Amino acid sequence: MDTASAPPRALRLRLRHLRDRLLVALCLVALALAVIPLVWVLWEVVGVGVRHVSWEFLTTLPQPPTVGGGGWANAIVGSVVVVGMAMVMGVPVGVATGIYMSEYGDNLLGKSARFLSEVLAGLPSIVAGIVAYGLIVVTMGRFSAVSGSAALALLFIPIVAITTQEALKMVPGHQREASFALGVSEAATTLRVVLPAAMGNVLTGVMIATARIAGETAPLLFTAFNSRYWMEGVDRPTATIPVNIYSYAISPFEHWHQQAWAGALVLLAMVLALNVAARTLWARRARFMAGD
């Protein structure tokens, strides 16, 4: 064989090595571009926020800017209630939709549900607010926490439906067959075999969706609206953390800007705490499923 026409073996190997390292380097640059802004945002929120979070901020009602002091206790409660109600509405509907799409959705209805979920998952959040405004606020004749929850649920459901579907599809078919072969019905197989096996990923979807809606501002502007007082009921307007951040941040008062940073930190901490709690509760079962 003529070896003179091809580059020597050693050179080819070195070239290949170089290309390999170049690709890894490019991936690292891309990673840095993605991670740096994230870390920076976290750094700012935690760094600035932590200076302005205080017991007073967490436990008292807002004060007029001229008075100074005061806190966001009503908004913190408001956010918990509004997001909590959105989850109560959204988890059953979203998970059930995901189950249908994955296990029974090999038909026109399933296809339509998948298409609609994907469209709705990309719904501009302010549109969800308008829908809830038109359907609930106008009908009830006033702003309310529950209308805010409905708007958030509209954003929450498609995300949970899609992630639940994906989670169930990842459960191997032989698990379903094992159950069918024991004379267990499809419904029981879905609920007792497939869903438990997928629960970790379903939970992840719920957490991602919760984090998403917990920070939504636009859908709440004309549904939950805002309030300077404690919430009087779910059929009344309420303050929430994101809307407060928005209105405090655009105010001319330095003191309010600081409170907006503190609010951002509290929101972040709440989402994180929920995530950690869910993961911890789940960890034991996950270990069991891994065979420990």
Partner 1 sequence: MAEQMITRDLKVSFGDHQAVKGVDMEIRPRAVTAIIGPSGCGKTTFLRALNRMHDHTPSARVSGEVLLGDRDIYGDGVDPVELRIRVGMVFQRPNPFPTMSIRDNITFAPKRHGLAKGKALDDLVERVLRQAALWDEVKDRLGASAVGLSGGQQQRLCIARALAVEPRVLLMDEPASALDPTATQRIEDLIYELKKDYTIVIVTHNMQQAARVSDYTAFFYMGLLVEFGETDGLFTNPREERTEAYITGRFG
Per CB under 8 A, residues contacting partner 1 are: 106, 172, 174-185, 188, 192-193, 196-197, 199, 285, 288-292
The residue among 141 and 291 lying less far from partner 1, judged by its C-beta, is: 291
The least distance separating partner 1 from the CB of residue 193, rounded to whole angstroms, comes to 6
What does the alpha-carbon distance between residue 165 and residue 99 come to, in Å, rounded to a whole number?
Answer: 6
Q: Of 65 and 200, which has the nearer Cβ to partner 1?
A: 200
Nearest CB to partner 1, comparing residues 254 and 292: 292
Smallest distance, Å, CB 184 to partner 1? 6
> Minimum Å distance from CB 104 to partner 1?
12
SS (H, E, C) 208-273: HHHHHHHCCCHHHHCCCCCCCCCCCCCCCCCCCHHHHHHHHHCCCCHHHHHHHHHHHHHHHHHHHH
Nearest distance, CB of residue 105 and partner 1, angstroms: 12
> Measured from the CB atom, is 180 or 229 closer to partner 1?
180
To partner 1, the closest distance from the beta carbon of 199 in angstroms equals 8
Rounded to the nearest whole angstrom, what is the least distance from the CB of residue 178 to partner 1 in the complex? 4
Q: At closest approach, how far in Å is the CB of 287 from partner 1? A: 8
Residue listed under structure tokens 């609010």: 263
| Placement of tokens 């419904």 in the chain | 187
DSSP 175-198: HHHHHHTTT--HHHHIIIIIHHHH
Buried b (16+ CB within 10 A) or exposed e, 59-72: eeebeeeeeeebbb
Tokens of 202: 């379903």
- Helices and strands per DSSP (H, E), number in the chain: 13, 0
Q: Side-chain half-sphere of 38: how many Cα atoms within 13 Å? A: 5
Nearer to partner 1, 102 or 226 (CB): 102
Q: Which is nearer to partner 1, 176 or 241 (CB)?
A: 176
In the complex, least distance from residue 186 CB atom to partner 1, rounded to whole angstroms: 8
- Report the residue number, 198 or 262, with the smaller CB distance to partner 1: 198
∠ CA 122-212-84 to the nearest 5 degrees? 120
Dist CA 105 CA 113 (whole Å): 8
In the complex with partner 1, which residue's Cβ is closer, 106 or 232? Answer: 106
- Residues with Cβ within 8 Å of 150's Cβ and at least 6 positions away in sequence, in order, are 86, 89, 132, 135, 136, 223
**Rounded to an integer, what distance in angstroms lies between the CA atom of residue 153 and that of residue 119?**
15
Q: For residue 97, give the nearest of 200, 205, 188 by alpha carbon.
A: 205
